[in-house]
Structure 1
Amino acid sequence: MPPQGWGYPPAGDYPPGAGPYGGQQWYPGAPVGWYPPGHGFDPTDALVTPPGAGIGAWFERCGGALRRGWRQLVPIMLLTQVLPAAVVSIVLLGVDPTPAWEAQAQMDPAAGLPDNFAVTLATLVGALVGSSLLIGLVQAVGWAAGSWVITQQATGRPGNLDSALRYGLRRALGLWGWTLLISLLIGIGSCCCVLPGIYLAFALSLAGPVYLFERQNPIGRSFGMFHARLGLMLGRVAVVGAAVIVGTAVPGVIESAGTAAFGADPFASPGAAVGAVAVIAVTALLALPAHLAQLVGLLITYAEQRAHEAPVNGATLAAELG
């Protein structure tokens, strides 16, 4: 490995004997991080953003992953993210006891807790926890399958849908377990104060890719990557987080307003129930870009962080994903 400041720039004029392909000399003064073939860095790699290439190259690789894989990624996200989210919303809307509680309070303002309050509340909490656990497992299938598609296609392989889902099923249980632990840590941090929760969400953002590619110590490795290049990671994860927040908050507001239009208890009549379900389905579909942004953005960010640690390329990462 040459000293800092030596290498080959991605384009431009080179002195005699130097160049990005086949030159035998190190070119002093070239941008840090650009090295010739044989040292693991390839400025044209479709998955790995070379060190020093900047956020423009990161966006380029994110866009390239979407262009190559949208035919596989869209159905994967529809099956494992959009559909489960819609089903959970419908179930929770059906078991929501607040309309009955509000009606009872209006009839008798002096009354205490509603009838069967404890049982109803336990049912609601059980439905919420159970559905969250189930959707988490299904989502893990999608994250693993989508990561496989992006990585395979970046190396020129087909990355077909059937093989992706089979891979996702193999890796889902382990990824799901780590995701539960990470969600618990972020939840505890958020309960203590908002800022610790946000910090943990940023610091643990790469734990999923770490597990899929390295399959060991995802929490510690994610923390290490985050703190090793704090500014770069803050920028990349903030872009992904902003896309996810906007992409889910807007459909959420539309869903709340749309279902409210069918009354406090949409399932009181068949027509209102059909309308509420249709609203939930449409708004869940509107969140599809947010799911894609999270998957692609975090995976490309992970690949970039690996390149900062040691020479790596898409073929190496595809072999690790196995």
Structure 2
Amino acid sequence: MSYPPPENEPGPPQAYWPAGMPAYPGSAMPYLDPRFDPADPLASADFAGWWRRGFAVVRRGWRTLALVQVLTAVAGLVLLVPAQLFVDLSSRDLSEPDGLPVPLLAANGLLMLATCLELLIYLIGTLVAVRVTVSIATGADMRVGQAVRAVLPRVPALIGWSLLTGLITFAAVLACILPVFYVGAVFVVLPVVVLFERGNAVSRCFSLFHNDLGAAVARIATIAGLGLAISLPFIVGSVALSLLLDGTAFTGTGGVIAASVTGSVLDGMGSLICGVVLTPLIVATYADLRARREPFSTAWLNA
């Protein structure tokens, strides 16, 4: 399958390519690595360039990226917090012999439904963040509402591919710990692939990952390390609140509500910061890996 634009579609704008020079490898190409245009805002030939380009997008567009993440987090919390609170109160009531417990099974069913809806919102937010990242990188003017309308047609595809990759990941869990890390690394760029390409997204992720294994591992391992460093304080805080919830200090209704809401908010804050910082790095990883495999320009993504 050919992933670059067809011949009848316009190529990269002249701004990305020096005048009088071919857009792709040729005898007159002066670049150290002819697969990469130094002016491209996302694709880079080395790790340092990838890092600079990713954080350049963060610096220029963190407000817009944060808005996307806030809207996603708030919508998720509106669904998840009441359901989680219902479960926490039901669990507490079941431990009280004189209480009138709400059926815990119904509470967990509500939580499962809320979690599924939250995951749907998360998938939409992920696609919007990817689309906004490309717009920020290329200097295009795209509002969040425009990005939402642009990505909605790809949401069913992302749901389908996410379910399939979830099954693959589950099979990796059954196999061993090492395959889980491998499969998880391969599918880091899945949302970007689904949004900007058509075809078998799973095989495409594997082909991009294995085409230049060293570059892929270096970038994705860095993303994973940053994600862990950002999330760890919020995870510790959430776990501490859960332990307090089991203690006598938080057995009252007010304490249960405060601990439940605060724990959900902490999880949302960690996800928000990760979304702002890591999304540009993930999109830049996709651009790097694709440029290593085939002729590519970030300008094509806006088309």
TM-score bracket for this pair, using the shorter chain length = 0.7 to 0.9
Where do residues 146-157 of structure 1 align in structure 2 (5 Å cutoff)?
146-157=129-140
1:128-181 Cα deviation digits (max 9, x unpaired): 532332122101111111111111232221121221122233322221222222
- What pairs with 1:193-204 in structure 2 (closer than 5 Å)? 193-204=176-187
Q: Quick check: 1:142 aligned with 2:122?
A: no
1:185-264 paired onto structure 2 within 5 Å: 185-261=168-244, 264=247
Gaps of 5+ in 2: 1-17
One-letter identity of the residue aligned with 1:168 = V
Cα distance in 2, alignment partners of residues 207 and 148 from structure 1: 13
1:43 paired to 2:38: yes
Structure 2 residue 274 is matched with structure 1 residue 290: yes
Quickly say closer, same or farther: Cα 1:309–1:240, change in 2 above 3 A: same
Q: Structure 1, residues 248-304: CA drift from partner, whole Å, max 9, x if none?
A: 232121022135435559584235524542453245224422122332222111111
What residue in structure 2 maps to residue 94 of structure 1?
Answer: 86
User: Contact 2:77–2:265 at 8 Å: present in 1 too?
Assistant: no
- Cα shift readout 1:68-119 (whole Å, capped 9, x = no counterpart): 2222211111122465157525523431455456566xx9xxxxxxx99xx7
Structure number with greater Rg is 1
CA distance in 2, matches of 1:223, 1:22: 36
Alignment correspondent of 1:57: 49
Distance in 2 separating the partners of 1:75 and 1:267: 36
Give the Cα–Cα distance (whole angstroms) in 2 for the partners of residues 169 and 248 of structure 1. Answer: 28
Specify which of 301, 304, 311 is matched with residue 295 of structure 2: 311
**Is 2:79 aligned against 1:79?**
no
CA contact (8 A) 1:258 1:279 kept: yes
Task: Please report how far the alpha carbon of residue 204 of structure 1 lies from its aligned counterpart in structure 2 after TM superposition.
Answer: 1.9
Matched residue SS, 2:188: coil
Distance 2:266 2:292 in 1: 41
1:161 to 144, 147, 166: 144
SS at match of 1:311: coil
Distance 2:189 2:267 in 1: 27
Conserved? CA contact 2:245–2:259, under 8 Å: yes
| Separation in 2, partners of 1:156, 1:171 | 23
Task: Give the structure-1-normalised TM-score.
Answer: 0.75
Which residue type is aligned with residue 122 of structure 2? Q
Partner SS state of residue 129, structure 2: helix
Q: Does the CA-based 8 Å contact 2:223-2:281 persist in structure 1?
A: yes
Distance 1:192 1:162, change over 3 A: same
Question: Paired residues, what number?
Answer: 280
**What are the equivalent positions in structure 2 for 1:97-116 lying under 5 Å apart?**
98-99=91-92
Greater Cα shift, 195-204 or 284-293:
284-293
Which sections of structure 1, spanning at least 5 residues, go unmatched? 1-19, 36-40, 108-114
In structure 2, C-alpha distance between the alignment counterparts of 1:215 and 1:89, rounded to whole Å: 36
Which of residues 66, 69, 78 is equivalent to 2:61?
A: 69
Name the CA distance, whole Å, in 2 between partners of 1:185 and 1:267. Answer: 41
Deviation at 1:29, TM superposition (A): 9.3
1: distance between equivalents of 2:37 and 2:289?
A: 15
Task: Verify the 8 A CA contact 2:79 2:118 in the aligned structure 1.
Answer: no
Q: Which has the higher helix share?
A: 2
